[in-house]
């Protein structure tokens, strides 16, 4: 009997390797069945033992034990005692450990291209048939090539001849339904990601330039930016506005001859740029990219670049070559590139390649069989399953080996499991231990045991991964979610002790969460939520602009001079505003673009941040790598509540000065701070100037002229 001829009077699902769940509607024989039997692909019949019956109201549920091994991928039928028949569909068995163990495959997947032949491999263990569909991009004529099933649920075919430029998809039959899907391992796609494309990646390869050494993660100064935002402003002076190639243009100038683009990044002195997602995403029509805007957290294809940033989204090579050129050029200018990766969810579960090829496997489900939604976007990737973990590790490896990226920022990393993140870190360490891994370690409601989640609370289990530190953020700025709440930099001092924990690298001995300062990402602003400036418009609206600018400089100084890894949001250094828009993920360019005119109006403030970056780089006492160093050298001074002052003591082995004092003051009233000895101290940073040049000297005490940061040093 052909499966497609079956009219399912009742339904049967394989929910474990030895368990069939049979649902019989009461409209069929009142739902009452005495005996079920299983017919194998060889036409042998075996009686099933009914373990449990459950009345579901409109139907009866029968749980039946299967006492013969089931070959997944073959067709089985279930008969009732009166000859009624249905097919045994694949159910929750895909989410069991025995299934995972049986079908785990550790080899290559995707397309292997040569001029002579192309080999396709796709993992589809629950499919009963599978084909690769080859489409001529010019004529749209399609050929279907049957795939052969190998061990571990892998299907393959080799097609002879030069297939370069041909579009392809997989067509698989699961539970008697044919579905068409783009290869989850596709490395090139057609416009809007409609098809995978067979290409010769070797044609796009370029050598990675040498980058400045990174001896510790705390040597990194991360600058987060969106490819389109950074260059799209009408006065950016950049030719390829909003494109990958916009990041390759040097010596560009904006209003009032201000430096823009790549040359500005170099001038600023940051070590890493963190680029919002640039894998292929939904939300922008690549044929008309300027008609829509998106941050990029709607992943479609994780191993192919986004086309809206390419000069020609119709040419599958253009986006690859241009992205590689952008990364290469940044690195050639001494700037490493961190990729923002979104492995925690897909854009739409039902339409995703994962769900079409192996339904039910790649996502988490709750106890009632509903898709989990810890991410808030309708699906949670089940990273704890072996082939999901393999896909994530393979993908990260691909971006390092093929595009030479220098780090990964894991979106909603707390959704992922610890074992997967460990596997990622261990794999990267075999390639280049200086590759950074950082992520959002929020604890989200996904059906995974809390001790298995890659959350900030479990940081000790992932010592080589860094976490966005929301305690640092909120104690300096005030709550991100309560706009009127003010942190230390906004003039409050209730969270003063928490700020001191943050300054100390949030290590355990200083009442923080982390084993080492290399685990904390210190920040007060990112692409998410209100910009610092927009929050202050509300929380500190009673103050004039000049005072608020001092507060923002104070907050940025706290970020750059604290122990840990500093992180700046692009434009933070010149008071970036999104006109009060909190979540600008799809807001127009007028809201999201970097405003180079605004930068030109705040050159002194930009120079101040530049000076702080230079100061951080000049002395390793700002960049300790261990908890022990912090305990041995960092001491807080006794000061009034609106001042935080600390002494980096006996640090001559780390740089040019023996002792350093940093003072953060959050009130406009003038104040004096007594120095810890009577020796001469040299001021290198005050509320207006920063850097490594001596501004003036003093003894015994220093006068603070309002809100700001002061740094004093003692020569060796």
* Catalytic positions, written as ranges: 411, 440
* 25 neighbors 31 (Cβ within 8 angstroms): yes
Q: What distance in Å separates the CA atoms of residue 160 and residue 712, rounded to the nearest whole number? A: 71
Identify the residue whose tokens are 């393979």.
Answer: 394
Cα torsion through 423, 428, 431, 432, rounded to 10: -150
Best CA proximity match to 351, nearest among 379, 391, 387, 392: 379
Please tell me the total number of residues recorded for the chain in this structure: 716
Return the number of other C-beta atoms located less than 10 Å from residue 57's C-beta. Answer: 6
- Do the Cβ atoms of 348 and 342 come closer than 8 Å? no
Give, as one character, the DSSP assignment of residue 415: G
DSSP states along 621-656: GGS--SHHHHHHHEEEPP--TTEEEEEE-S-GGGSS
3-state percent breakdown (helix, strand, coil) of the chain, nearest 5: 30, 25, 45
Question: How many Å apart are CA 557 and CA 709, to the nearest integer?
Answer: 7
Q: H or E segment at 65?
A: strand 59-65
Element at 37 (helix H, strand E): strand 36-39
Q: How far apart are CA 566 and CA 555, in angstroms?
A: 12
Coil, strand or helix: which one is 275? strand
Task: Quote the CA–CA distance of 3 and 77 in Å, as a whole number.
Answer: 9
- Cross-strand partners of 661: 647, 712
Q: Cα dihedral sign for 511, 514, 518, 522?
A: negative
Nearest CA-CA partner of 476 in 556, 571, 548 = 556
**What is the spatial distance between Cα 656 and Cα 595, in angstroms, rounded to a whole number?**
37
């Amino acid at each position: 009997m052909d499966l497609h001829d079956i009219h399912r009077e009742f339904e049967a699902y394989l929910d474990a390797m030895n368990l069939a769940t049979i649902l019989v509607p009461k409209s069929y024989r009142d739902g009452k069945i005495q005996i079920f039997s299983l017919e194998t692909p060889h036409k042998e019949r075996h009686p099933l033992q009914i373990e449990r019956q459950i009345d579901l109201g409109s139907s009866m549920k029968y749980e039946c034990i299967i006492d013969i091994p089931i070959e997944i991928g073959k067709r089985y039928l279930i008969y009732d005692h009166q000859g009624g028949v249905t097919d045994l569909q694949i159910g929750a068995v895909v989410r069991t450990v025995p299934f995972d163990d049986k079908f785990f495959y550790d080899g290559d997947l995707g397309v292997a291209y040569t001029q002579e032949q192309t080999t396709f491999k796709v993992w589809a263990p629950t499919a009963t048939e599978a084909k690769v569909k080859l489409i001529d991009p010019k004529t749209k004529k399609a050929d279907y090539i049957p795939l052969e099933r190998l061990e571990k649920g892998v299907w393959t075919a080799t097609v002879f001849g030069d297939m370069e430029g041909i579009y392809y998809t997989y067509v698989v039959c699961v539970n008697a339904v044919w579905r068409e899907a783009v290869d989850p391992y596709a490395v090139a796609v057609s416009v809007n990601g409609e098809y995978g494309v067979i290409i010769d990646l070797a044609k796009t390869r370029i050598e990675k330039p040498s980058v400045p050494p990174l001896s510790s993660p705390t040597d990194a100064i991360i600058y987060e930016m969106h490819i389109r935002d950074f260059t799209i402003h009408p006065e950016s002076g950049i030719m390829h506005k909003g494109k990958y190639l916009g990041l390759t243009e040097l010596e560009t100038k904006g209003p009032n001859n201000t430096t823009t683009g790549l040359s500005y990044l170099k001038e600023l002195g940051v070590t890493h740029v963190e680029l919002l997602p640039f894998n292929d995403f939904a939300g922008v029509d690549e044929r008309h990219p300027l008609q829509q805007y998106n941050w990029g957290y709607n992943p479609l294809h994780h191993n192919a670049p986004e086309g809206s940033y390419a000069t020609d989204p119709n040419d599958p090579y253009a986006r690859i070559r241009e992205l590689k050129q952008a990364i290469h050029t940044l690195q050639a200018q001494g700037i490493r590139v961190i990729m923002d990766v979104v492995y925690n969810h897909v854009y739409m579960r039902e339409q995703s390649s994962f769900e079409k090829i192996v339904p039910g496997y790649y996502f988490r489900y709750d106890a009632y069989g509903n898709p989990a939604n810890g991410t808030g976007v309708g699906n949670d990737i089940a990273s704890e399953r072996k082939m999901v973990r393999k896909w994530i590790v393979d993908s990260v490896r691909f971006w390092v080996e093929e595009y030479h990226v220098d780090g990964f920022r894991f979106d909603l990393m707390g959704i992922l499991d610890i074992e997967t993140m460990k596997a990622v870190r261990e794999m990267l360490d075999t390639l280049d231990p200086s590759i950074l891994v950082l992520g959002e370690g929020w604890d989200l409601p996904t059906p995974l045991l809390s001790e298995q989640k890659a959350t900030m609370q479990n940081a000790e289990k992932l010592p080589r991964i860094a976490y966005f530190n929301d305690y640092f953020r909120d104690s300096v700025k005030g709550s991100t979610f309560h706009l009127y709440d003010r942190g230390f930099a906004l003039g409050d001092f209730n969270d003063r002790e928490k700020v001191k924990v943050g300054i100390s690298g949030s290590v355990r001995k200083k009442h923080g969460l982390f084993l080492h300062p290399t685990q904390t990402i210190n920040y007060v602003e990112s692409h998410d939520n209100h910009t610092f400036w927009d929050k202050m418009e509300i929380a500190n609206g009673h103050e004039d602009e000049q005072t608020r600018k001092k507060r923002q400089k104070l907050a940025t100084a706290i970020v750059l001079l604290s122990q840990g890894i500093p992180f700046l949001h692009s434009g933070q250094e010149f008071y970036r505003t999104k006109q009060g828009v909190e979540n600008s993920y799809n807001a127009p360019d007028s809201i999201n673009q970097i405003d180079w005119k605004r930068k030109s109006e705040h050159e002194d403030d930009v120079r101040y941040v530049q000076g702080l970056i230079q100061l951080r780089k000049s002395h390793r006492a700002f960049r300790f790598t261990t908890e022990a160093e912090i305990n041995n050298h960092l001491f807080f001074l006794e000061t009034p509540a609106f001042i935080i002052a600390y002494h980096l003591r006996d640090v001559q082995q780390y740089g040019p000065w023996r002792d350093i004092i940093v003072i953060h003051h959050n009130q406009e009233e003038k104040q004096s701070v007594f120095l810890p000895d009577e020796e001469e101290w040299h001021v290198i940073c005050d509320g207006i100037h920063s850097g490594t040049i001596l501004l003036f000297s003093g003894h015994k005490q220093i006068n603070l002229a309002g809100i700001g940061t002061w740094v004093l040093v003692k020569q060796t």
